[in-house]
Amino acid sequence: MQCELLLILLNDEVLKIMTQQPTWISFLKEKLANISIKHLLYQEIEAWMYWSCKNLPGVVGFICRNIVLSLLCRNKKGMIWLQPEINLVHMNKLKLGSNVGVNSGTYINAIGGIEMGNFVLIGSNVTISSGVHPIEGIEPAIFSRPAIPKKIIIEDDCWIAAGASILPGVTLAKGTVVGANSVVTKDTEAYSVVVGAPARKVKSRENIN
């Protein structure tokens, strides 16, 4: 009786997949319409290479992650202080200065290009994504639309505190400090301290004694 019930359930699932197949085919066509085979191959290689060292602890993990970054990043200067459990995507569009530190849980997607200067410090669980999801109109589904690339620039001596989000197209001017859990939606002034959602300037580092 149990076997018969299992077969009925499996047949139902197969039937659902078969009836949904045209939808999935059209979805994949829309999603992959502007993506080349070369790009897909690179993303696969990047994913496996970074996965091999992403969560390695200690000095070994630190060294291995730097080797992978040197091979995959568009440009990398010096050592990068990359903690375990950081998600990096589209590293071929990522430029890193020297002495960049990134803490665990952070997500960096360089689909639209990301440039970081020297002595940049990024806290844990920060999101930096340089692709915009277009929302105009109701068709096609947002998930199936290609992201619009918008470069993010993070200049020298910036500190992004834990939980902050840097939206596509933003430039963090030299010396900017972003408060914890802030959402930066527009360019900042040099040596400014910004907090909130959306982030607003609350003071200047030049005036702090």
DSSP 8-state code for residue 142: G
Q: What is the pLDDT of residue 32?
A: 63
Nearest Cα to 107, choosing from 22, 50, 186?
50
**Out of 16, 29, 133, 201, which one is annotated catalytic?**
133
List, for residues 181-201, the tens digit of each pLDDT value. 999 999 999 999 999 999 999
pTM of the entire predicted model: 0.82
Nearest Cα to 128, choosing from 113, 143, 144?
113
List, for residues 126-139, the tens digit of each pLDDT value. 999 999 988 898 88
Q: What is the pLDDT of residue 39?
A: 79
Structural contact between residues 97 and 117, judged by C-beta atoms closer than 8 angstroms: yes
List, for residues 46-87, the tens digit of each pLDDT value. 999 999 999 999 999 999 999 999 999 988 888 899 999 999
List, for residues 64-74, the tens digit of each pLDDT value. 999 999 999 98
Higher pLDDT, residue 109 or 20: 109
Surface-to-core class of residue 32, CB atoms within 10 Å of its CB (0-12 exposed, 13-18 middle, 19+ buried):
middle
> At a CB cut-off of 8 Å and minimum separation 6, what does 209 contact?
none
Structural contact between residues 32 and 24, judged by C-beta atoms closer than 8 angstroms: no
Surface-to-core class of residue 108, CB atoms within 10 Å of its CB (0-12 exposed, 13-18 middle, 19+ buried):
buried
Q: Cβ of 165: how many Cβ atoms within 10 Å?
A: 20
**CA torsion, points 120, 180, 183, 167, in degrees to nearest 10?**
30
Catalytic (active site) residue 90:
no
For residue 8, name the pLDDT band (cuts at 50, 70, 90): low
Q: What is the pLDDT of residue 137?
A: 87
Nearest Cα to 170, choosing from 181, 155, 159, 191?
155
List, for residues 136-146, the tens digit of each pLDDT value. 988 877 877 78
The token pair that represents 202 in the structure block:
């609350």
DSSP 8-state code for residue 165: E
List, for residues 144-192, the tens digit of each pLDDT value. 778 889 999 999 999 999 999 999 999 999 999 999 999 999 999 999 9
Q: What is the pLDDT of residue 75?
A: 85
> At a CB cut-off of 8 Å and minimum separation 6, what does 191 contact?
173, 174, 175, 176, 204, 205, 206
- Sorted by where each starts, the structural domains of the chain and their CATH numbers stand as 34-207 (2.160.10.10)
Q: What is the pLDDT of residue 144?
A: 76
Structural contact between residues 117 and 95, judged by C-beta atoms closer than 8 angstroms: no
Structural contact between residues 164 and 126, judged by C-beta atoms closer than 8 angstroms: yes
Buried b (16+ CB within 10 A) or exposed e, 135-153: eeeeeeeeeebebebbbbb
Q: What is the pLDDT of residue 69?
A: 92
